Amino acid sequence: MEVEDGAELCFPQLNTSCKKPTFSRSDVVLLHIVLSSVSVLTVALNLLIIISISHFRQLHTNTNTLLLSLAVSDFLVGLLVMPGETLRQTACWFLGDLTCSLYIYVSAIITSASVGNMVLISADRYVAICDPLHYPTRVTLRRVKLCVCLCWLISVFYNCIFFKDDLTEPDRYNSCYGQCVFDIDYIVEVVDVVVTFIAPVTVIVVLYMRVFVVAVSQARAMRSHITAVTLQRSVTHTTKSELKAARTLGVLVAVFLTCFCPYYCLSLAGDNFLGGTSAAYVVHLFFFNACLNPLIYALFYPWYRKAVKLIVTLQILQPGSRETNVL
């Protein structure tokens, strides 16, 4: 009987070992195939975005810089977070307590940075649509890069404070060897959800409501020729492109909210969502957003499809390929 019990443990030689997850072998294999495929697809698609925006000089714009930052966070989700979550939920954690704490810490940084990128994208569209004449002077590439760096730095320092105890005492919540969990006080968790999700989402929704109202009024003005002729020649083309970008990024934000809201709602409900199998689908939907974003670019951005074609065919290795027209 002792042998049978030992066979079910992650570390049979240790009495304090956790039991192996109770999944059938076929379920584990199927789950690993599906999640590994999504992870590889997420990495590949976001890597194409990173290469496209970084390589082609025409794509070095304010909005694309923000999309590049979002693609980096999505790339890290596919490369680090998805495989780690798959291991946590379907197998024993063999990587040690410190690695577990670092994994949770890095996951939180990436998530916070993604939310911050969405706020920056919304603010960029707000200025572009609501104050187009001052957009070139107010939103410069240098300022956008500075905001992106601040977004990541704030995420790093905020989560460092939040997970300080977990990093200094990595095994404080693990009841046995082979486990990777963490737990926080409910009040602290609510404050964190407000700071990292509710407040940013409120800003995003308010900005996009304003963008939507102004975009509708501008579209009506262009259709009825209310716009002054002197402004129409110089602004109409720009306005149309900005409106199209706003619609595309609006879809991006809507998908983001659809994937993230269930995760944070479950968090507010007080469930131990990071370790409970009942919330596995919500957690995977949360991370699946990183795979959906590049698909949205492929549907709405012609430059992305052109850039991918040039990358896949290795034409970017040719001299002067940085100056290729992809718009």
DSSP string, 122-134: HHHHHHHHHSTTT
Whether 143 contacts 278, CB under 8 Å: no
The alpha carbon of residue 94 and the mean position of all alpha carbons in its chain are separated, in whole angstroms, by: 27
- State how far the Cα of 305 lies from the Cα of 102, in Å rounded to an integer: 36
How confident is the model at residue 20, as a pLDDT?
77
How confident is the model at residue 140, as a pLDDT?
92
How long, in residues, is the chain? 327
Closest CA to 112 of 78, 81, 154: 154
- State how far the Cα of 275 lies from the Cα of 184, in Å rounded to an integer: 12
Q: pTM above 0.75?
A: yes
How confident is the model at residue 230, as a pLDDT?
45
* pLDDT tens for the 327 residues of the chain, in order: 333 444 578 777 777 778 877 666 776 777 788 888 999 999 999 999 999 999 999 999 998 999 999 999 999 999 999 998 888 877 788 888 888 889 989 999 999 999 999 899 989 988 988 888 888 899 999 999 999 999 999 999 999 888 887 777 777 777 778 878 777 777 878 888 888 888 998 998 888 888 878 777 766 666 665 544 444 544 444 456 666 666 777 788 888 888 888 888 777 776 544 444 556 677 778 888 899 888 888 778 888 889 999 999 999 999 888 999 888
Whether 292 contacts 45, CB under 8 Å: no
Query: Count of CB atoms within 10 A of residue 230's CB?
Result: 8
Question: What is the identity of the amino acid at 306?
Answer: K
How confident is the model at residue 150, as a pLDDT?
96
Query: Count of CB atoms within 10 A of residue 76's CB?
Result: 21
Q: Which domains does the chain have, with CATH numbers?
A: 17-321 (1.20.1070.10)
How confident is the model at residue 220, as a pLDDT?
67
Q: Read off the tokens for 119.
A: 């706020």
